[in-house]
Amino acid sequence: MSHLSLARVDKFYGRVDHGVHAVQNVSMDIEKGEIVALLGSSGCGKTSTLRMIAGFEEASRGTIALAGREVHTLPPVRRNVAMAFEGYSLYPPLTVRQNIAFALKSAKLGKTEVDARVAEVAQLLEIEDILDRYPSSISGGQQQRASLGRALIREADLHLLDEPMGQLEPQLRAVLRGRIKHFVKERGYTAILVTHDQTEANALADRIAVMEGGVLQQFGTPSMIKERPANLFTGTFVGEPPMNVFTARVAGDDGRIVLELPEGVTLAYPAGAFTDDVRRTIRAKGDIVIGIRPYSVRRAESGVEATVAVNQWLGDQTHIAADFAGGIIVLVEHDRTVLEPGRTIAVEIDPAALHIFDAATGIALAHGMELA
């Protein structure tokens, strides 16, 4: 049995089956020691899911089991879950140190032990110098780190982190991501974080659950979500810059595949570019949507023409946007590239890098050589 298991969980606000269906039939199994991110934009149901796991909301239907016991009927205190809140929820009359140590109250540890553990998380989160200040006198970023400290210091069956880094100082984010991941992994904690920021989800999580409209769209490793998105939503939601997307009609004869894009742009692939299965599937569909990750688009000597619209250098990457097939195609290059707007370039799209979706349903048909 998994460490945490959600089985067919529904959440209605208002009457069951009539109110707002915020979480729809979500099932998820999370193993011990895993870090899982619930990723989605606001209103997608991720926070409701987290709150049901924590016990702040009742599941309208379905079961939640943690560490071998059914917890969905238990009040929050009896679920043995540690949580860092988005709004920090620090106790104003206590100092940062007391706030963090407060989480250890029920563990009945000796003073030296408590001090040592507070010192450890304080160092991890760079809040040593504000330990004796009160929450009202520190910045939002510092409050968020204190709140994280209060959650991380506890040993619990599950650590829940609600938008744990949204307010962190940008300069600290990258290094804290690394440290927190190291800390959680070292102790074998199981953690769920809720975030709208895919960078954070990708950086911290072993697996990501992408949610939209109350529905779990896909649950998989970051690389799986990136390389094998289950549908057009996941494909375009995850990835920065976002995936390039074009509608296409499938044509061609024999083994050849010709993809007819808008404005007369065609991508022709010789026999053997796709496996027989993929070719049959997309031929049968006729109308498809193709997606190409910006880093998979290559500039070539010859290929399909595109006109450079914008060239943006960001210090360590260059983002090039070019007019292509009635839309824009974005390329990412890892060094400084100067291409004046208006210049014509040739782009090459490797069939192995193509994501193919059903035009009507958005469900993935194929990723490169493989059927979805």
Binding positions for another protein, rule: CB under 8 A: 41, 56-58, 75-76, 170-175, 177-179, 181-182, 185, 196-199, 202-204, 222, 236-237, 240-242, 294-295, 309-310, 312-317, 319, 321, 328, 330, 332, 334, 341
What is the rounded distance in angstroms from the CA atom of residue 23 to the CA atom of residue 16?
Answer: 12
What is the nearest approach in angstroms of another protein to the Cβ of residue 116? 19
What is the nearest approach in angstroms of another protein to the Cβ of residue 226? 9
Query: Tokens 């824009």, residue?
Result: 328
Name which of 106 and 139 has its Cβ closer to another protein.
139
Name which of 160 and 203 has its Cβ closer to another protein.
203
Q: Report CA dihedral (181, 185, 190, 193) to the nearest 10 degrees.
A: 10
What is the nearest approach in angstroms of another protein to the Cβ of residue 181? 5
Name which of 202 and 281 has its Cβ closer to another protein.
202
Longest dimension (CA), the chain: 78
106 sits in the region (left: phi over 0; alpha: psi -120 to 50; else beta) called alpha
Name which of 33 and 252 has its Cβ closer to another protein.
33
CB 295 within 8 A of CB 281: no
CB 280 within 8 A of CB 323: no
What is the nearest approach in angstroms of another protein to the Cβ of residue 315? 5
Name which of 41 and 361 has its Cβ closer to another protein.
41
What is the nearest approach in angstroms of another protein to the Cβ of residue 258? 28
Peptide bond into 75 cis (omega under 30): no
| Backbone CA torsion sign across 205, 210, 216, 217 | negative
Q: What is the DSSP letter of 242?
A: P
Name which of 134 and 313 has its Cβ closer to another protein.
313
Alpha helices (H) along the chain: 46-54, 96-102, 111-125, 140-152, 170-187, 198-204, 222-227, 232-237, 276-285
Is residue 134 exposed (0-12), middle (13-18) or buried (19+ Cβ within 10 Å)?
Answer: middle
Name which of 40 and 149 has its Cβ closer to another protein.
40
Q: Which residues are CB-neighbours of 123 under 8 A, at least 6 positions away?
A: none
What is the nearest approach in angstroms of another protein to the Cβ of residue 222? 6
